[in-house]
Structure 1
Amino acid sequence: MQSAAAETMNPAAVQSAAAEKHGRSRKKKKMNNVNTSSSPSSGKKRKGDDDDLRMEKPNKKSKGKVQLSNDNEVIAAAGENLTVAGGGDVGSGKVAVTASFLSDSRFDECSVSPLSLKGVKDAGYEKMTIVQEATLPVILEGKDVLAKAKTGTGKTVAFLLPSIEVVVKSPPSDPGQSQTPILVLVVCPTRELARQAAAEATKLLKYHPTIGAQVVIGGTKIVSEQKRIQKNPCQILVATPGRLKDHIAKTAGFASNLMGLKTFVIDEADRLLDMGFRKDIEEIITSVPKQRQTLMFSATIPKAVHQVCNVALKKDYEFINTVQEGTEETHSQVRQMHLIAPLDKHFSLLSVILKEHIADEVDYKVLVFCTTAMVTSLVASLLGKLDLNVREIYSRKKQGFRNRVSDEFRKSKRLILVTSDVSARGVDYPDVSLVVQVKYVELHFHFYYIISMPVPIT
């Protein structure tokens, strides 16, 4: 992120600059990202810091000037002693994230079955993304793969499409079997990502009625999942690690069904390890056949990912890197702002940012990221008291509630979703107009993955 001139400002000056810059009439939609951080001078923890989001009215009498460089823009700010910095190129019109990741190759040039191609076409995919172009031929050859690719660049289809072909080419199961064997296993770090991957698999399986994709995740009744798996075809299973281990240990016949596994996918491997699932992944690896194809997809390749590769992948695996050295982590047309403020000014700053954006964007769609479940709940509650249209998602909410809110936000406009990092990696929300990250420093890693979501690619 490029730095801009920074100086102490008051809210009247900042709002005036924002109004003058935007003219209150943006006709074309842009993706915006705003991060609010504590100022360096407020680094020490003070009494009451955990309850830091207090409502406070800006001082309308104060005056000042705003100086920015490198074509950066200020949306709004509130409170005293605010340091504002910005970076990145400002693009015009709606952000076309897809254009950066598409290749010239078409899916109909792939060695996949005609029925799979029909499913791909109905899903709206014509050209492959760069990661799909690079990985599909290698995966279709049956090789183990470690792929490095940014989130939102089409990794899900990159592993699902060849996985479906594995099922298509497998001999039919014994009619005497009470359950279909699980041929493909996909492990995801979060429940939201697992649901999304399973939904994508179902979409691609439109013309394969005898092949089923199921999802098992925590937060739901395991008995309901057991009945669903027994009743419906389940050649492709998408799971979170903890619930998968529960089924291996507790569900009758589940462990034996895994013995027919042909493809094992570890999605968002770095995120899984960051969340402390390394031991779970290693235990799951011992529960599946050694003779299998293993695919690992990861946005970054830290040492921990390499260590899991040594356990999960064959020695002759292919490493495919679709992230060019020196490329920006953020799309160049996404405008970014970094606002540094004292901790007790965060909520008043956030409320002004949101109101300014809603005034400018008729069909606004806003994501507000907070660091913890407690802060997420507090921010959502306070924004609701300002009569804003707000929803909330965090880990302490029941899974059914999280599912409903996530689906509503995905389909709706004129809505603000306040969320913890359960939505920070890989979840597709189309047409997001603004992302605000409160206490940016603690969520620095995930920020780079969320800002490419205005036009997501599954």
Structure 2
Amino acid sequence: KDVLAKAKTGTGKTVAFLLPSIEIVSKLPPVDRDVKRPPIHVLVICPTRELAIQAASEAKKLLKYHPSIGVQVVIGGTRLALEQKNLQANPCQILVATPGRLRDHLENTAGFATKLMGVKVLVLDEADRLLAMGFRKDIERIIAAVPKQRQTLLFSATVPEEVHQICHIALRRDHEFINTVQEGTEDTHSLVRQVHMVAPLDMQFSLLYVLLKEHIGDDVDYKVLVFCTTAMVTKLVADVLRELNLNVREIHSRKSQSYRTRVSDEFRKSKGLILVTSDVSARGVDYPDVTLVLQVGMPSDREQYIHRLGRTGRKGKEGQGILLLAPWEEKFLSCVKDLPITKAPLPSLDPETKKKVSLVECALGILFLILA
């Protein structure tokens, strides 16, 4: 049966759709090597490159004892010609893709549409986010390109009206609705200790430095995500923290996909590291054992705040979240007033710290107006 599954972030959705998909592929008769365009049997659509790479990586782990089943990923930010070559040369029964790049292949890769006619399982992961990012037309095009006789698995953290509309197109009428968000169960974010602080912009780098130093002092295995509002601010914050001799990496849209993948993998495997990031890491990406999520600036909405926070406190573990706002951003708190966020006093800034941070700010030529 087709399935619409409502599930919170951090609850193992990826394995939930990969295991049955792999089982279906493993039971299919092997494809003759002489077949010119061997079919793709499982198509997984993810909203971001990072999520697609992560899903493909999980699939490869699960296929350790099924070497004949191939997994490939097609995403924006990489050369289309290289992906075309890989699809031609290597087995690909399971394909993980972002919507835009999949459409590129449909329109520009010879024989690709034929390969999709073998799809037995279509997975739409993070469906609400796919739609929020403007991929509706791409999704409709993809649904039209795969056989009607297939199983469709649609996963979504929320089920607004737009998701219901896609369900009418993608799922059979007798599909199963599975709601894993039961009344009375704790949300992922309820396991996270949350505080907010309000401070003028000219204090924020000093405060950020002090908050990070305190956390590092409390936990030798610290693993911190610092979320910023834009790619430019992300780079600026990373530059400042790096000059202050903190162990920092950065991910944002101005970095190449190969760089982002490398840094993401490093952070996933590391301890004692701070990752400064834009919202490319906000949802679904699984970084184990994140000890602190620090959000600098006002999130665009309540959902963004929750999804950022969801990078810590995953799989039943405790976590900590700090929201650092400028005075004019304090209005955001009304959007999350029902969440357990308490106001925290600003940590004291000693003259030596102020001077140290000020010297870095001057060296980098920082103008606080660009943070607004």
Q: 2:7 aligns with which of 149, 159, 162?
A: 149
The structure-2 alpha-carbon separation of the partners of 1:422 and 1:443, relative to structure 1 and needing over 3 Å to count, comes to farther
Q: Secondary structure at the match of 1:338?
A: strand
TM-score (norm 1): 0.66
**Match for residue 417 of structure 1?**
275
**Match for residue 108 of structure 2?**
250
Greater shift after overlay, 296-305 or 162-171?
A: 162-171
Greater shift after overlay, 439-448 or 204-213?
A: 439-448
Question: 1:340 offset after TM fit, Å?
Answer: 2.0
| CA deviation profile, 1:295-346 (whole Å, cap 9, x unmatched) | 1000111111111111111111111101023544344442111112234433
Count of residue pairs the alignment pairs up: 315
Verify: 1:311 aligned to 2:169, yes or no. Answer: yes
Q: Secondary structure at the match of 1:407?
A: helix
Q: 1:375 aligns with which of 193, 211, 233?
A: 233
For 1:346 and 1:300, the matched residues in 2 are separated by 34
**Match for residue 430 of structure 1?**
288
For 1:198 and 1:264, the matched residues in 2 are separated by 15
- Is contact 1:214–1:236 with CA below 8 Å preserved after alignment? yes
For 1:180, the aligned partner's letter is P
For 1:302 and 1:255, the matched residues in 2 are separated by 31
**Match for residue 398 of structure 1?**
256
For 2:30 and 2:180, the matched residues in 1 are separated by 36
| CA deviation profile, 1:64-122 (whole Å, cap 9, x unmatched) | xxxxxxxxxxxxxxxxxxxxxxxxxxxxxxxxxxxxxxxxxxxxxxxxxxxxxxxxxxx
For 1:270, the aligned partner's letter is D
Q: Secondary structure at the match of 1:295?
A: strand
For 1:205 and 1:300, the matched residues in 2 are separated by 30
- Is contact 1:148–1:321 with CA below 8 Å preserved after alignment? yes
Q: Secondary structure at the match of 1:392?
A: strand
For 1:402 and 1:451, the matched residues in 2 are separated by 20
Q: 1:298 aligns with which of 140, 143, 156?
A: 156
In the TM superposition, 1:176-215 aligns within 5 A as: 176-215=34-73
Verify: 1:444 aligned to 2:302, yes or no. Answer: yes
**Match for residue 350 of structure 2?**
none
For 1:434 and 1:456, the matched residues in 2 are separated by 12
In the TM superposition, 1:53-452 aligns within 5 A as: 143-442=1-300, 444-452=302-310
Q: Secondary structure at the match of 2:117?
A: helix
Where does structure 2 lack aligned partners over 5 or more consecutive residues? 316-372
Task: Give percent identity, aligned residues only.
Answer: 71
Question: 1:190 offset after TM fit, Å?
Answer: 0.6
Question: 1:448 offset after TM fit, Å?
Answer: 1.9
Compute the RMSD of aligned alpha carbons: 1.5
Which structure would you say has the larger Rg? Answer: 1
Question: 1:178 offset after TM fit, Å?
Answer: 2.4
For 2:211, the aligned partner's letter is I
- Is contact 2:44–2:97 with CA below 8 Å preserved after alignment? yes
Q: Secondary structure at the match of 1:442?
A: coil
For 1:170, the aligned partner's letter is L
- Is contact 2:59–2:71 with CA below 8 Å preserved after alignment? yes
- Is contact 2:120–2:151 with CA below 8 Å preserved after alignment? yes
Greater helix percent: which structure? 2
For 1:280 and 1:219, the matched residues in 2 are separated by 17
For 2:83, the aligned partner's letter is E
For 2:201 and 2:163, the matched residues in 1 are separated by 36
- Is contact 2:56–2:71 with CA below 8 Å preserved after alignment? yes
Question: 1:364 offset after TM fit, Å?
Answer: 1.2
Where does structure 1 lack aligned partners over 5 or more consecutive residues? 1-142
Question: 1:291 offset after TM fit, Å?
Answer: 1.3
Question: 1:253 offset after TM fit, Å?
Answer: 1.1
Structure 1 stretches of 4+ with a deviation exceeding 6 A read none
For 1:321 and 1:288, the matched residues in 2 are separated by 26
- Is contact 2:189–2:306 with CA below 8 Å preserved after alignment? no
**Match for residue 82 of structure 1?**
none
Question: 1:289 offset after TM fit, Å?
Answer: 1.1
Q: Which has the higher contact order (CA 8 A, sep 6+)?
A: 1
